[in-house]
Amino acid sequence: MTSAHQTTPIFVLPGQSENALREAAAVLKNGGVLLFPTESVYGVGVLACHAAAQNRLRDLKGRPDGKPFQWLTHSIENIRNLSTGWNETAERLARAFWPGPMTLIVKTGNQAAGWRIPRHPWLLQLLENLGRPLASSSANLSGEPSPQNFIDALRPFQGRIDLAIDGGPADCGIASTVVLLAGDTPLRILREGAIPAATILQTATR
């Protein structure tokens, strides 16, 4: 693992895309932490199946213990198969806004999980190659602004994570809109982000 006395390895897109895919997959499968671009803001993540890696990521960010990570994957079918609270509204929203900057919180097993299918082509390819979801968060220390470019994203994690992917400036630079659709409560917008809340609500009630 990278230590605080080392420099985090960096791959630059698009020129190093193929090498970056191979190296990122290897790092993640080994329980490492990856910094990566999305279409909204930069993120940091680990394989969701690695509990120790999630604990490390939580420590790196200074994230509260009770605050869950977002889960990233490449297909609606994956989420549908893992979720126990998937319904017609979830399907309608997923088909309208994914891939894209919407996080949909649905019941998954015995708890609620926030899912997203990102639109960034390199990240989508990585997720497809992995075949497993990433536990992720924005690439900032807890309570700090979400980074819109690679330099700001890397700054708090330099030498403390295992690999960083430079994809240039984020397309929209605004975090995803977070939609709660879990349990018996009506649909709620927990955070308005890149997709306007009114657009989400209008689509959900069609």
**55, 64, 76, 77, 156 from 91: Cα distances, Å:** 31, 31, 8, 10, 37
Per-residue pLDDT at 2: 56
Q: Tell me if 56 sits within 8 A of 33, measured CB to CB.
A: yes
| pLDDT tens readout for residues 65-80 | 989 999 999 999 999 9
Per-residue pLDDT at 106: 95
DSSP letter (8 states) at residue 134: E
pLDDT confidence band for 5 (50 / 70 / 90): low
User: At which residue do the structure tokens 């994203």 appear?
Assistant: 153
> What's the average model confidence in pLDDT over 179-204?
92
Residue in 121, 103, 105, 1 with CA at minimum distance from that of residue 57: 1
- Reply yes or no on whether the pLDDT at 182 is more than 90: no
| pLDDT tens readout for residues 80-128 | 999 998 999 999 999 999 999 999 999 988 889 999 999 999 999 999 9
Q: Tell me if 85 sits within 8 A of 107, measured CB to CB.
A: yes
Where along the chain do its domains lie? 10-204
- Round to whole Å and give the CA distance between 30 and 128: 17
Q: Tell me if 87 sits within 8 A of 72, measured CB to CB.
A: no
pLDDT confidence band for 4 (50 / 70 / 90): very low
Per CATH, the homologous superfamily of domain 10-204 is DHBP synthase (3.90.870.10)
Q: Which two tokens stand for residue 95?
A: 């088909």
Please state the three-class secondary structure of 43-56 as a single string.
EEEEECCCHHHHHH
- Round to whole Å and give the CA distance between 206 and 78: 25
